[in-house]
Amino acid sequence: MDSFFIGIGVVLCFLMFLALHRAVHGPTAIDRIMGVNVIGTKTTILLVIIGTIYGRVDMFVDIALAYALLNFIVTIAASRYFQHHKNLNPKGYGYRFREEDK
């Protein structure tokens, strides 16, 4: 059963790398907040899986709970910070200019 959970954790890490593409190349700043939120939720599950593999779930569950709280607070604070910025359209804040736009 341990090797099964190791496989689940490896697939979760692969999906986190896929979501990192949205967090890095997102067209707006809000898209980056969204990618970080998805990665944080996956990390909470991954911490409980790591605790199950090591046999120390009682310690890792507390870390996972703290990580979930921190992820929620970061998302709320960042979205409240960007709420009234009127320059968040795709060619505004954080837009990476490409060749055809010049």
Interface residues with other proteins (CB under 8 A) are 1, 4-5, 8, 11-12, 15, 18-19, 21-22, 27-28, 30-31, 33-35, 37-38, 41-42, 44-45, 48-49, 52, 57-58, 61-62, 64-65, 68-69, 72, 75-76, 79-80, 82-90
Min CB(93)–other proteins separation in Å: 9
Q: 5 or 99: whose CB is closer to other proteins?
A: 5
Q: Which is nearer to other proteins, 14 or 97 (CB)?
A: 14
Q: Which residues of 12-24 are buried (b: 16+ CB within 10 A; e: fewer)?
A: eeeebeebeebbe
Q: Which residues, including other chains, have CB under 8 Å from residue 16's CB and lie 6 or more apart?
A: 39, 42, 43, 46
Judged by CB, which is closer to other proteins: 12, or 101?
12
Instruction: Say how many residues make up the chain.
Output: 102
Q: What is the DSSP string of 62-75?
A: HHHHHHHHHHHHHH
